[in-house]
Amino acid sequence: MPSEIGASRPLPMATASRSVQNAAQLSLTLARSLGDLLPPGQSAQAEVLGVKQAAYNFQLLLRLTLAGGQQTLVTAESPQALPQGSTLNISALSATSLAATLLSSAQQALGDLPPLDSLDLEQLPVGSLLQGKVLSSTPQGGTPAQPASYRVLLSLLGGPLAGRLLDIDSARPLKAGSLLSAQVQGSRALLFLPLAGRLDRLELTSQLGTQQARQASTEGLLDNLLALKAGNRLPETLRGAVERLLAGLPDVRQLSDAKGLAQALQQSGGFLEARLLQGLPPLPGDFKANLLRLLGQLLPAEQGSATPGLLANLANNAAANLASSLPAFVRNALGALNQNGSPRLQQADFPLPSRMLQKLEDEDDLESLLKLAAAAVARLQTHQLSSLVQSEPLRGGGQLHTWQMEVPMRTEDSLVPLQVRIRHEDRRESNDPEQPRESLWRIDLAFDLDPLGPLQVQATLAPLGLSSQFWAERESTASLMESELGYLRQRLQDAGFTVRELCCNKGRAPQGARTALEQRWVDEKA
């Protein structure tokens, strides 16, 4: 049953909350566990007492103020420097992992505003996920033994209303200090999501930041594997894993065929866990599965033989258990090797920037090869988590679905990663359920192909027709592509498309929530 939002207080002016910038979301790693002081799910406030730059991140000295007023000093690693004296709202995700929200002076003043008794659907549209911490739960009405309802005060975490208090009525008591997730049903109604089925946005954001910090471009790994294969000095078992991985990569000709392209996307590694959870074995050429098999062959020399036994059963045994253990295995492998990196990336970046680790010093440098392979797995998981972060309800109704992945493709003399993002907007133009939905498809591509150099493509398929833009960083490539646009338009029209706009630009594609292409689509609809 949806929970009604209490109406005991007047609604504050919406402009007050709109003027506040969103809080910065950070993922912090503690140097040691806090134990029972801050169990997972509990929250506290922290003050930054000191900041020290390390090789790849920043070390913070924090003073935590717990719910009971107790204070303690802790050290934590942060992906970015924080101003000394700044204040954080933190929530414990695990014994050593914290989700932190950096509060500005305006955001710290939010606690002085009266609680909200309804939601602004412009900021939190119907279907949005909302997360909050229970501050109090007071019985009201009925009898002391059986209250009619409970008045609950929530502190909202993350999103446009981060830091605001929300006053709701609940049919059941909620434990003070607990975290809960809810789906917005209307301006005055929430549907609480069960713990087992909710999408924990804090944990998702934390995991994305962690994987971004550990990822590196797949080119470094693939180039080294090609060199190792040609050197003919690999152990037989390791050679088999290398050959299997390289043989499963598609070539450019395969990607020019619709069936071949679909197969390459399915084997990109982005759908591995979904197959495992259905009890299905990995596809023979699945890139992520083959990477994990390679890690399984590399780890005996570094960590003993226990972990490879897990990966040896990749296509067998309990698929669901294996699917849940794979990310933990990769995190453990990276931690054992002290694998750190620069995490100064935007959430859900596309395309992921190129980041190279060191090349192998010699063919026996298995530790560096293990780091390259683990960083490649982290890159694939960054794409997977970015897909989840970018899948969300749309304002005005409807849903945005996102699939982001990376496909290494073989050319005549090299291996080139192709980054792909497919987005589907299932729009609803009115609140009338009888009105037909309107679909909008967007496809983004990014790759660096000699001699053309870095290229990006954005294509939008809407009811009005097909539009596409190209970006080339080299002047000669931009001129060449501009001269071929007429031929491309004719090919698309012959295939049955209504072609609206085709253009080519020099430089890089714009980043942000709304590109120029999307804005033109909105203008045409208006």
Listed by start position, the domains of the chain span 24-103, 112-199, 203-386, 392-525
Q: What is the pLDDT of residue 439?
A: 86
Asked whether the beta carbons of 8 and 170 are under 8 A apart, the reply is no
Q: What is the 3-state secondary structure (H, E, C) of 86-146?
A: CEEEEEECCCCEEEEEEECHHHHHHHHCCCECCCCCCCCCCCCEEEEEEEEEEEECCCCCC
β-strand 392-393 against 398-410: which pairing, if any? antiparallel
Asked whether the beta carbons of 382 and 389 are under 8 A apart, the reply is no
Residue 469 β-bridge partners: 458, 503
Q: What is the pLDDT of residue 33?
A: 82
| Nearest Cα residue to 74 out of 32, 114, 110, 36 | 32
Alpha helices in 359-510 (DSSP H): 366-389, 475-483, 485-494
Q: Per the structure block, which two tokens stand in for 362?
A: 């010699």
Pick the CATH number of 392-525 from 3.40.50, 3.30.750, 2.170.220, 1.10.3470: 3.30.750
Give the chain's largest Cα–Cα span: 81
Determine the Cα–Cα distance for residues 24 and 32; give it in Å rounded to an integer.
24
Q: What is the pLDDT of residue 354?
A: 82
pLDDT along the chain (526 residues), means of 10: 42 32 64 82 84 76 82 85 81 82 58 77 82 80 71 79 83 78 85 58 74 87 86 80 91 90 94 87 92 85 42 36 42 37 48 75 71 92 89 74 93 89 80 67 93 94 93 95 95 93 92 50 44
Q: What is the pLDDT of residue 428?
A: 63
Residue 279 CB neighbour total at 10 angstroms:
9
Between the CA of residue 67 and those of 31, 38, 158, 479, what are the distances in Å?
21, 9, 19, 62
Q: Which residue in the block uniquely carries the two structure tokens 């942000």? A: 512
Asked whether the beta carbons of 517 and 462 are under 8 A apart, the reply is no
| DSSP character at residue 149 | E
Q: Per the structure block, which two tokens stand in for 107?
A: 């955001």
Contacts of 109 (CB under 8 A, 6+ apart): none
User: What is the torsional sign of CA 208, 212, 213, 216?
Assistant: positive
Strand, coil or helix: 474:
coil
Asked whether the beta carbons of 202 and 132 are under 8 A apart, the reply is no
Q: Per the structure block, which two tokens stand in for 28?
A: 């912090």
Q: What is the pLDDT of residue 408?
A: 93
β-strand 179-186 against 149-157: which pairing, if any? unpaired
The CATH class of 112-199 is: mainly beta
Contacts of 198 (CB under 8 A, 6+ apart): 129, 181
| Nearest Cα residue to 61 out of 85, 27, 26 | 85
Q: Per the structure block, which two tokens stand in for 203?
A: 């944990």
β-strand 71-78 against 129-140: which pairing, if any? unpaired
What is the residue type of 157?
A: L
What is the residue type of 6?
A: G
Residue 61, classified by CB atoms within 10 Å of its CB into exposed (0-12), middle (13-18) or buried (19+), is: middle
The CATH class of 24-103 is: mainly beta
Q: What is the pLDDT of residue 397?
A: 67
β-strand 3-4 against 189-192: which pairing, if any? antiparallel
| 24-103 matches 392-525 in fold | no
| Nearest Cα residue to 467 out of 421, 501, 498 | 501
User: What is the torsional sign of CA 227, 233, 238, 240?
Assistant: positive
